[in-house]
């Protein structure tokens, strides 16, 4: 214990006892210090965990609100509110007279009440319902029992919102109208640089199934294909196969200015106008694409079966 040499046993015992007592006191103090340090460490950890959870909750809420805005679920108004705001901006900038604003507002309200299209949400000449009417028809399909999971994600409501209409909603609407269709999910790239050559090959096979002979131009009875990717949807109306075997989709894009689309109705189409239509493999590089392809009509029994199958909605995946 120490270097002290004692000649008396009692003195030695007393000295050893002092050492032991001193050691016990030090150990007790160490335990107290250790316990304090441990409690402090636990407290710091609790504070750190609390801060982390608070930050995670804040980030989750920001992401949730971002998704709500992105998918039109932030209660910022639907088609009517958007159109009114756009017209108000035009009046404020002097590009529209107040009288014109009130006239167009009255026309829009009448169009919404009747469920007919005023021409503002579609290309002139296609006999399709207006956007609010399509939203209403999808809600009716949900009420029939189609795709309950998708309906709940959108709070069972589309009218009066800016919520996106995607491939699942299009499938639900068409199936409720006894149109036989299928969803194919090209969920990952199948070519270099994030391209999707398998998507192009599928569409070539779709339009080639009725091909006869060696005619350069094939006019098929196959309906257009609905093409969806993150943030946008387009319509595939055909495909070109070049001499070098490369493929090019022919696409109608609602993001294309209407004046450019009108040029396609002219007898003598300029080659430059066709650039709006053509999309090569290198032009489609989104992470994921979904298509809805029409295949015919459904019997009443088939419609019921597909409604039941939509309780757990799945799409075909390629690859």
d(CA 228, CA 240): 20
CA quadruple 114, 120, 126, 132: dihedral sign: negative
SS3 24: helix
- Cα separation, 24 vs 8, in Å, equals 24
Residue 114 confidence (pLDDT): 66
Q: Helix, strand, coil % (nearest 5) of the chain?
A: 50, 15, 35
For position 19, what pLDDT does the model report? Answer: 67
pLDDT of residue 76: 58
pLDDT of residue 40: 81
Separation CA 15–CA 6 (nearest Å) = 9
> What pLDDT is stored for residue 154 in this prediction?
87
How many whole angstroms separate alpha carbon 139 and alpha carbon 128? 17
Residues pairing with 291 in the sheet: 184, 227
Q: pTM for the complete prediction?
A: 0.69
DSSP string, 126-156: -----HHHHHHHHHHHHHHTS-HHHHHHTTT
Count of residues making up the chain:
319
Phi then psi for residue 250, to 5 deg, are: -105, 115
Write down the pLDDT at residue 124: 61
pLDDT value at residue 302? 96
**Ranges in the chain, pLDDT < 70:** 1, 11, 15, 19-20, 22-34, 64-79, 112-125, 127, 212-213
- For position 185, what pLDDT does the model report? 96
Using the CB atoms, write b or e for 122-149: b if 16+ within 10 Å: eeeeeeeebbbbbbebbbebbeeebbee
Do the beta carbons of residue 175 and residue 298 sit within 8 Å?
Answer: yes
């Amino acid at each position: 214990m120490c270097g002290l040499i004692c000649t008396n046993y009692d003195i030695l015992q007393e000295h050893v006892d002092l050492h032991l007592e001193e050691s016990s006191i030090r150990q007790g103090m160490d335990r107290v210090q250790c316990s304090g340090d441990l409690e402090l460490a636990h407290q710091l950890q609790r504070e750190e965990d609390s801060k982390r959870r608070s930050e995670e909750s804040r980030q989750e809420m920001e992401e949730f609100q971002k998704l709500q805005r992105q998918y039109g679920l932030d209660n910022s108004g639907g088609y009517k509110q958007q159109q009114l705001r756009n017209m108000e901006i035009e009046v404020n900038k002097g590009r529209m007279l107040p009288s014109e604003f009130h006239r167009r507002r009255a026309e829009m309200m009448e169009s919404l009440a009747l469920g007919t299209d005023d021409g503002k949400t579609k290309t002139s000449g296609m006999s399709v319902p207006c956007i609010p009417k399509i939203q209403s028809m999808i809600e009716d399909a949900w009420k029939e029992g189609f795709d309950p999971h998708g309906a709940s994600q959108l709070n069972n409501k589309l009218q009066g919102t800016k919520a996106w209409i995607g491939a699942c909603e299009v499938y639900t609407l068409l199936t409720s109208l006894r149109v036989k269709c299928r969803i194919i999910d090209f969920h990952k790239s199948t070519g270099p640089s994030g391209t999707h050559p398998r998507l192009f090959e599928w569409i070539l096979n779709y339009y080639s199934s009725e091909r006869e002979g060696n005619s350069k131009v094939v006019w098929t009875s196959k309906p257009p294909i609905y093409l969806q990717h993150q943030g946008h949807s387009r319509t595939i109306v055909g495909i070109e196969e070049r001499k070098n075997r490369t493929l090019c989709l022919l696409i109608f894009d609602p993001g294309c200015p209407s004046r450019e689309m009108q040029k396609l109705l002219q007898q003598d189409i300029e080659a430059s106008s066709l650039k709006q239509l053509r999309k090569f493999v290198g032009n489609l590089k989104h992470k994921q694409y979904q298509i809805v392809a029409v295949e015919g009509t459904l019997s009443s029994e088939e419609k019921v079966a597909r409604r039941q199958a939509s309780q757990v909605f799945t799409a075909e995946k390629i690859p």
